[in-house]
Structure 1
Amino acid sequence: MIKPFLLLITFLFTTNTFAQQDGYWDKERSTSKEIKVSARDRIVVKIDDLPVGTTEIVYRITLLDENQQLAGSLVSVLKSIPDQTGISQGSAGAVFVLSKISGDDKCTYAIFSKEDLAAQYKDSGKTLESCLIQNELVSKDAKRLSVDKSSCLSNDNGSLWFGFESKNWIMNQKIILEVVPWIDKKLSRGWSLENRKFIIDQCKTSNLAQKMSNSDSFCVCVLDKIQTKYKFQEFQKLLPMERSKVFKDAGDVCLSETNTSVTTSTDLRKEASVLIKNNKYGAAIEKLTVIINNGKATVLDYNTIGSCYLLTKQYGKALKYLQDGEKLDNTELLIKLNLAHAYLLNDNYKEAKKIYAKYKNQNVTDSLSWIQKTEQDFKAFQKAGIQNEDFERVLKLIKE
């Protein structure tokens, strides 16, 4: 049985209406105002600012005769609905909630999303730039406005102005204005489309993301971690160094997740290989450093970065990375040979000689001998402008 204070409630549901749990009617931050309008006057009323995450509103306007009271508030109407999600955004529902009691007075009204437009209406009655206009005289009215269908909710400041014009030429009017917002749970945390895009764009400018061939999945993962931990407003209030740490921590977690980590490391190795073939050793070092810093490097990654450091005449760094790689696999002869080169170029012929001599009769791969690889490396060094008087000395040693 319909309650006496309702004239009509109509719902048009989609098949999944009752499954929606993405928001709620915010009755605590609803607006309820009693407005008195002088005869033949216009008045503008600003409703309370809509909360962050508002995607739709239901409003009701009721004109009452003197001393007449509403039989039931709009909030009480919404409380009486068994499942409020039935009129949430996306339900394709329409809601009309009208008071059974209303007076004989009538008015027209318009809604504005900007204060200056509302002020113009009050002065001149101009409604061309209103986001909604009701030109027909009404004694009561109610509507549902949503973000996707009404420009009234498209402004960023979350404010609305209702303008009323009395059509009573003699008596004052009493108007009851009620507005209840629907809050999207996700958007209430401030993560609008624009704000999410801001985080993703910022992620894509990071050094790590720029070294990836496809950073989209990585940055979406970072965004998800940040959204879960912070409201957007909270994130914005962090100090720059705190935000940087949040990005780094989220990136570390995303990179450590199996699929992202494996894909990223594989991509970085491929990119580094192409760069090395084009003699862009510095750029290759950047790619390989990401793999190493994320704890995903193999002994061959250490060998490759060590080789790049040698070819860019950074002999101290080459020695460090090659020694770290040797700890991962003490039997890998490619890294042993590069380690010998590093000692040699660091003016430590004594340590280099021990390694060159020890493995001179072995192969570094199934088809490449230690001697052949040494000759290849020395030619590469000379092509890169690296000269050392001990190159010939080493070649003579390993061919004895």
Structure 2
Amino acid sequence: MNIKHTSFVLLISLSVNTLFAQKDGYWDKERATKKEIIVSARDRFIFKTEELPVGTTEVVYRITLLDQNQEMANSLVSVLKSIPDPTGISQGSAGAVFLLSKISGEDKCKYAIFSNEISASDYQKNGTTTKACYEQNVPVSQDAKGLSVDKSLCILPNSNAMWFGFESKNWIMNQKIVLEVVPWVNTRLSRGWNLENRKLILNQCKTTDLAKKLINPDDFCVCVLDKLQKEYKFQEFQKLLTVEKSKAYTDFGNSCLKEIGTSDKIYSDLRNQAANLVQQGKYAEAIDKIGIIVIYGKANPLDFNTLGYSYLMTKQYAKAIKTLKEGEKIDDSELLIQMNLAHAYLLNNDFKSAKLIYKKYQSQNVTDSISWTQKVKSDFETFQKAGLPSDNFKRVLKLLE
């Protein structure tokens, strides 16, 4: 009774483990390679495998030399049906022994594997194996191995095939070689988002206008990448027109900015950048930075003040007035906003509106140590140096005497 119970539990355990292993990927029998190759005596021959599917992380291959009248007893694909994943095969030669054909002939050959056609062609011409990703230089009648993308250069991230080169050791008779190659496809990577492709998209994301406005765009671009992976296969995304790609980056970027915006750090960084740019006189760049905060509804009164002031310094007076009025709605007691609003009216040739504000706050301090009049004089000096129209500056200063 106990034995039966133990066996039943063990069977369930094995079934569950197999199920989970198979969820990670699958043997792609549809794109497996099986080819009978005739190699002339003392000759070298190269053969390109079937196209490896996107997401191939491992391959298992089997080479069998047969005598003239021999036939394969079973295929590599049929053997792999009982192996849920490549783990046991890739961990050592013991697992690969199980894959060997039950039948093989007496002939032997050497072989090498290449990751590109040029190196394989060199091998066929002169027997060079210096660029081989794997070489079997001791003649064998059969062999079987597993190769993984992590441990072998035979499977390159964006390569879609492998090249096998065979060298016959017969002096007179031709050789019959059966080559079988079965790829293991990682389900997640089958959408094409391998490490190299993810790096490519992250680098492209960092060149977008939105990412350039952020001090640290890494989190932002990872978010964009996640959304792209869910929406597209890599190959699909690469086939989009340039304008379509740009729209995808913009749409997902806007969405990510809102998500990342749950943390105030990104907006704090933008404020610091904008403040530094204003000090450097780079007002157009400051507008870009602080504008993001305004667009996403995270602006405080001083953000509107910074944006309005930057519009002033770039002679965009109407925009300055509109922006500063938005800040005034939030806090009409912020005198920096009131002063810049007065400046904007003045520079926009609305002396009457400017005069009302200048006179209203004449007796107050803008900060704990700077009076309203001192700040007006300081700003006018800055405006004159920047080449802004100064015809009415003296009139204002007389009002404040």
Coarse TM-score class (shorter-chain normalised): 0.7 to 0.9
TM-score, structure 2 length as denominator?
0.82
Deviation sequence 1:133-167 (CA, Å, 0-9, x none): 22223221101112232222237432222222333
Query: C-alpha separation between the residues in 1 aligned to 2:282 and 2:127?
Result: 69
Q: Determine the structure 2 residue equivalent to 1:383.
A: 382
Alignment of 1:79-98 (within 5 A): 79-81=81-83, 83-84=84-85, 86-87=87-88, 95-96=95-96, 97-98=99-100
Query: Alpha carbons of 1:213 and 1:302: their partners in 2 closer, same or farther (altered >3 Å)?
Result: same
Q: Determine the structure 2 residue equivalent to 1:207.
A: 209
The 3-state SS of whatever aligns with 1:51 is coil
The 3-state SS of whatever aligns with 2:264 is helix
The 3-state SS of whatever aligns with 1:130 is coil
- For the Cα contact (< 8 Å) 2:148–2:155, is it kept in 1? yes
Query: C-alpha separation between the residues in 2 aligned to 1:270 and 1:101?
Result: 74
Query: C-alpha separation between the residues in 1 aligned to 2:79 and 2:239?
Result: 39
Deviation sequence 1:101-123 (CA, Å, 0-9, x none): 22233222222233343334334
Query: C-alpha separation between the residues in 2 aligned to 1:114 and 1:351?
Result: 75
Alignment of 1:184-223 (within 5 A): 184-223=186-225
The 3-state SS of whatever aligns with 2:37 is strand
Alignment of 1:51-200 (within 5 A): 51-81=53-83, 83-84=84-85, 86-87=87-88, 95-96=95-96, 97-154=99-156, 156-200=158-202
Deviation sequence 1:219-254 (CA, Å, 0-9, x none): 222222222222222222111111111111121122
Deviation sequence 1:349-379 (CA, Å, 0-9, x none): 22233444555566666x478xx23540342
Q: List structure 1 runs of 4+ shifted beyond 6 angstroms.
A: 17-20, 91-94
Query: C-alpha separation between the residues in 2 aligned to 1:154 and 1:24?
Result: 19
Partner amino acid, structure 2, of 1:52: V
Instruction: Decide which moves more: 227-236 or 123-132.
Output: 123-132
Query: C-alpha separation between the residues in 2 aligned to 1:147 and 1:283?
Result: 45
Q: Determine the structure 2 residue equivalent to 1:7.
A: none
Query: C-alpha separation between the residues in 2 aligned to 1:205 and 1:228?
Result: 21
The 3-state SS of whatever aligns with 2:95 is coil
The 3-state SS of whatever aligns with 1:152 is coil
Q: Determine the structure 2 residue equivalent to 1:243.
A: 245
Q: Determine the structure 2 residue equivalent to 1:373.
A: 372
Query: Alpha carbons of 1:101 and 1:258: their partners in 2 closer, same or farther (altered >3 Å)?
Result: same
Partner amino acid, structure 1, of 2:379: A
Query: C-alpha separation between the residues in 2 aligned to 1:337 and 1:202?
Result: 42
Q: Determine the structure 2 residue equivalent to 1:6.
A: none
Query: C-alpha separation between the residues in 2 aligned to 1:19 and 1:368?
Result: 71
Query: C-alpha separation between the residues in 2 aligned to 1:219 and 1:240?
Result: 18
Query: Alpha carbons of 1:171 and 1:103: their partners in 2 closer, same or farther (altered >3 Å)?
Result: same
- For the Cα contact (< 8 Å) 2:64–2:179, is it kept in 1? yes
Q: Determine the structure 2 residue equivalent to 1:322.
A: 324
Query: C-alpha separation between the residues in 2 aligned to 1:296 and 1:44?
Result: 64
Query: C-alpha separation between the residues in 2 aligned to 1:161 and 1:260?
Result: 51
Partner amino acid, structure 2, of 1:252: N
Partner amino acid, structure 2, of 1:142: A
Query: C-alpha separation between the residues in 1 aligned to 2:94 and 2:332?
Result: 73
Query: Alpha carbons of 1:87 and 1:327: their partners in 2 closer, same or farther (altered >3 Å)?
Result: farther
| Shift in Å, 1:51 | 1.9
Alignment of 1:265-304 (within 5 A): 265-304=267-306
Query: C-alpha separation between the residues in 2 aligned to 1:373 and 1:210?
Result: 37
Query: Alpha carbons of 1:238 and 1:94: their partners in 2 closer, same or farther (altered >3 Å)?
Result: farther
- For the Cα contact (< 8 Å) 2:58–2:146, is it kept in 1? yes
Query: C-alpha separation between the residues in 1 aligned to 2:298 and 2:343?
Result: 25
The 3-state SS of whatever aligns with 1:111 is strand
| Shift in Å, 1:193 | 3.1
Q: Determine the structure 2 residue equivalent to 1:37.
A: 39
Query: Alpha carbons of 1:70 and 1:92: their partners in 2 closer, same or farther (altered >3 Å)?
Result: closer
| Shift in Å, 1:180 | 0.6
Partner amino acid, structure 1, of 2:95: V
Instruction: Decide which moves more: 105-114 or 267-276.
Output: 105-114
The 3-state SS of whatever aligns with 1:175 is strand
Partner amino acid, structure 2, of 1:84: D
Deviation sequence 1:53-98 (CA, Å, 0-9, x none): 22221000112233433222111111112x3153487x78963111
Query: Alpha carbons of 1:176 and 1:313: their partners in 2 closer, same or farther (altered >3 Å)?
Result: same
| Shift in Å, 1:181 | 1.0
TM-score, structure 1 length as denominator?
0.82
Q: Determine the structure 1 residue equivalent to 2:347.
A: 345
Partner amino acid, structure 2, of 1:382: E
**What stretches of structure 1 of length at least 5 have no aligned partner?**
1-14
Query: C-alpha separation between the residues in 1 aligned to 2:201 and 2:132?
Result: 33
